[in-house]
Amino acid sequence: MTGRDEPIVLGIETSCDETGVGIVRGHTLLADTIASSMEEHARYGGVVPEVASRAHLEAMTPTVESALAKAGLRFSDIDAVAVTAGPGLAGALLVGVAAAKAYALGLGVPLYGVNHLAAHVAVDQLEHGPLPKPAIALLVSGGHSSLLLVPDVAQEVVSLGSTVDDAAGEAFDKVARVLGLPFPGGPHIDRAAREGSGAAVAFPRGKYDDGTLDFSFSGLKTAVARWVEARQAAGETVSVPDVAASFQEAVVDVLTRKALQACARHGVEDLLIGGGVAANSRLRALAQERCDAAGVRLRVPRPGLCTDNGAMVAALGSELVAAGVAPSTLEIPADSSLPITAVHV
């Protein structure tokens, strides 16, 4: 099936603070609309679940309508509805799942409840075409830091490792606070780091040589805070660019090292990086350098598709439809800790 005969899938994502609505036809992206409540969370220094849930309810209908308008479609053109069933914030997921069920029921089309992490993997196909089977995926954001083996994103995804404490993006937020940079920290650290040296301070790399594919960022975060506090207590000025660059270097060093270890161990030649932290310029550069040296092909979707969005959910839904997977029932729960072994529910 190609072109205009392929089914049109509406995707809904509400696992955190973004109300994302995407529409795809096969691997073609028709619309990707986002309403974010990030501004409301910024003053709290982190995402407040109840604030996010309230915002999803307000934003859903206008976001869906604007996605349809952008795609030049009407509700009656939609052939299937996909929704993030987990993992994520329970109350936030529930709003998206309720909306998706109502759209599927109202339109008389099948519903697909999908895994948020698998959707982060599937979205790259909208930009770079079919994903080689198997591939390794590194997903890094404020909510997740995972290494996945992806034999087939519609059928099977295997967890190889994940963070044992903070998510990588969380460490960026916390270090940004220590350095007096605003929330969310990722873009601010990235920007500050461009003026500094990644070799200025040798911050610890958690689990660097422990032989696992797991991550740990809590020790690094604390080490940065101690280092900064010690300098401040001594009345020294702290170079924000140097600390930002050195912290960032420690994070991306561990991330890329373990990602390439995963490729080597599993004999996989394709690495995909997704999640909000994939927008980090140093992560992209170092990953490219190390992939080139190891003969691994690197795929990173454009930043707008790396952060949480509805297109990724629609992309995975479309994959499930094409694979002939049975739709979900209207009884599916939102599961805040949905394991990656459940690509769809």
Partner 1 sequence: MLVLAFDTATPAVTAALHDGGRVLAESTTIDARRHGELLAPAVERVLREAGVTLRDLTAIVAGTGPGPYTGLRVGLMTATALATTAGVPAFGVCTLDALAYATELPGPFLVATDARRKEVFWARYGDPRTRLDGPRVDKPHDLPGELPVVGAGGRMYADIVGPGRISGPEHPSAGALAALAAERLAPLSAEEAAELARVPEGRVDSVEKAQELSVLGPPRPIYLRRPDAQVPGAPKKVTA
Residues that bind partner 1 (CB under 8 A): 43-45, 48, 50-51, 53-54, 57, 60-61, 64-65, 75, 90-91, 94-95, 97-99, 101-103, 105-107, 177-178, 222, 225-226, 229-230, 233, 329-334
Choices 22-30, 176-184, 304-312, 336-344 (CB under 5 A): range interacting with Zn ion: 304-312
CB 330 to partner 1: min, Å: 4
Indicate the residue among 35 and 51 with the shorter CB distance to partner 1. Answer: 51
C-alpha span between 317 and 225 (Å, rounded): 42
Helix/strand/coil for 157: strand
- For the CB of residue 231, give the shortest distance to partner 1 in the complex, in Å: 11
Residue numbers 139-158 binding Zn ion by CB under 5 A: 141
User: Which residue number, 63 or 318, has a Cβ lying nearer to partner 1?
Assistant: 63
Q: Closer to partner 1 at the Cβ: 52 or 340? A: 52
Q: Are 217 and 207 in contact (CB under 8 A)?
A: no
Query: Cα dist. 34→22, 104, 312, 342 in Å?
Result: 9, 20, 12, 25
Those residues with Cβ within 8 angstroms of residue 81's Cβ, 6 or more apart along the chain or in another chain: 9, 10, 11, 12, 100, 103, 104, 107, 109, 110, 111, 112, 317
Q: From the CB of 215, what's the least distance to partner 1, in Å?
A: 20
- Per DSSP, the three-state class of 307 is coil
Q: Where are the beta strands (DSSP E) in the chain?
A: 8-13, 18-25, 28-36, 80-86, 111-115, 135-140, 145-152, 156-162, 270-274, 297-299
> Is the CB of 131 or the CB of 171 nearer to partner 1?
171
Q: Which does 44 bind (CB under 5 to 8 A by kind): Zn ion, partner 1, none?
A: partner 1
Crossing angle, helix 218-233 and helix 240-266, to 10 degrees?
160
Residue 299: what are its φ and ψ, rounded to 5°? -125, 125
Q: Give the H/E segment covering residue 70.
A: helix 49-71
Window contacting Zn ion (CB under 5 A); options: 24-32, 60-68, 135-143, 295-303? 135-143
Looking at the Cβ atoms of 199 and 230, the one nearer to partner 1 is 230
Instruction: Give, in degrees to the nearest 5, the angle at Cα 119 between 151 and 207.
Output: 70
Closest distance between Zn ion and the C-beta of residue 259, in Å? 17
In the list partner 1, Zn ion, none, the entry touching 292 (Cβ below 5 to 8 angstroms by class) is none
Given Zn ion, partner 1, none, residue 332, with its beta carbon under 5 to 8 Å by kind, binds: partner 1
Q: Say how far apart CA 52 and CA 46 lie, in whole Å.
A: 11
Q: Are 124 and 257 in contact (CB under 8 A)?
A: no
Q: Which does 308 bind (CB under 5 to 8 A by kind): partner 1, Zn ion, none?
A: Zn ion
For the bound state, the minimum distance from the C-beta of residue 234 to Zn ion, rounded and expressed in Å, comes to 40
CB 316 within 8 A of CB 122: yes
**Which residue in this structure is represented by tokens 């409301």?**
40
Q: Report the nearest approach of partner 1 to the CB of residue 56 (Å).
A: 8
Q: Which of 253, 308, 319, 335 binds Zn ion (CB under 5 A)?
A: 308
| Tokens matching residue 254 | 């561990």
The least distance separating partner 1 from the CB of residue 174, rounded to whole angstroms, comes to 8
Instruction: Give 160 or 334: the residue with its C-beta nearer to partner 1.
Output: 334
208 binds, among partner 1, Zn ion, none (CB under 5 to 8 A by kind): none
90 binds, among partner 1, Zn ion, none (CB under 5 to 8 A by kind): partner 1
* Contact footprint for Zn ion (CB under 5 A): 141, 308
